[in-house]
Every structure is written in structure tokens, then in C-alpha cells.
């Protein structure tokens, strides 16, 4: 989307969350600006994402200053493993908040 400069996805996990992510590439930082929007829970984040080896890792902070890290691992054309972590000590230690394994389905 946006001339190949952005990627948007939609997540729907009934009973847990519904939302959309917009990722816009910034060549000056060699990074992605990421906005997650969940209009049902009114939960919004801004993160910066980069490749770390074969993984994609996004870092940001919640409104209360809690550090968040979203890791996309085991990425293939049809699947990935997503782990959402939080840190209350500035990134010294992390606690897993969410752990999903996603697989593309063909409709």
C-alpha cells in the first residue's frame, strides 16, 4: 500500500482483540514506524521495528512508560511466531504477555 512504502494488516481474535497495524518504512533510519490500533479496547501503540538476524523485532513504550517488545520469529511465506513482551525495568528483564503462532489459510 502507499506505493510500496507501507504494509497494513488486520488481526481479529474474537474475545481477545481486533485491530490493525500500519507499518511505514523509513530509509533514513533503516527501520519501520509501526502503529497498532485496537478500536474496541482503545489500545494504541507506536513502535520502531528492525530486522535482528532472521527475526523482526519491534520496540516501543506504553503510555505509563512500560517497555514493550514484539518479536516475529520463525518467519516463512505462510507462517510466523509472534511473541509480545513487557519490561518494567527498562529492558533488563522481559515477561511474555502474548504468544501466537500464525498460519496463512487459503480461502
Distance (Å, rounded) from C-alpha 42 to C-alpha 9?
18
Distance (Å, rounded) from C-alpha 43 to C-alpha 63?
10
Average pLDDT, the chain: 92
Instruction: Look up the pTM and report it.
Output: 0.84
Res 92: pLDDT: 95
Residue range 87-93: mean pLDDT, rounded: 95
Q: Which residues pair with 46 in a beta bridge?
A: 35
Distance (Å, rounded) from C-alpha 23 to C-alpha 77?
18
Which pLDDT band, with edges at 50, 70 and 90, does 25 fall under? very high
Say if 1 falls within a structural domain. no
**57 touches 70 (CB < 8 A):** yes
Say if 34 falls within a structural domain. yes
Say if 68 falls within a structural domain. yes
Say if 24 falls within a structural domain. yes
> Residue 4 pLDDT > 80, yes or no?
no
Instruction: Say how many domains are in the chain.
Output: 1
Say if 69 falls within a structural domain. yes
Residues 6+ apart with CB under 8 A from 39: 18, 19
Residue 26, domain extent? 6-103
Sign of CA dihedral 12, 15, 16, 22: positive
Amino acid at each position: 500500500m502507499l506505493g510500496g512504502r507501507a504494509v497494513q494488516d488486520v488481526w481479529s481474535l474474537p474475545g481477545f482483540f481486533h485491530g490493525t497495524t500500519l507499518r511505514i518504512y523509513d530509509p533514513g533510519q533503516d527501520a519501520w514506524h509501526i502503529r497498532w490500533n485496537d478500536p474496541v479496547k482503545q489500545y494504541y501503540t507506536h513502535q520502531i521495528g528492525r530486522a535482528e538476524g532472521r527475526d523482526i523485532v519491534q520496540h516501543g513504550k506504553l503510555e505509563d512508560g512500560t517497555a514493550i517488545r514484539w518479536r516475529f520469529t520463525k518467519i516463512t511465506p505462510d507462517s510466523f511466531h509472534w511473541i509480545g513482551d513487557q519490561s518494567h525495568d527498562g529492558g533488563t528483564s522481559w515477561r511474555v504477555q502474548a504468544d501466537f503462532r500464525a498460519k496463512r489459510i487459503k480461502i
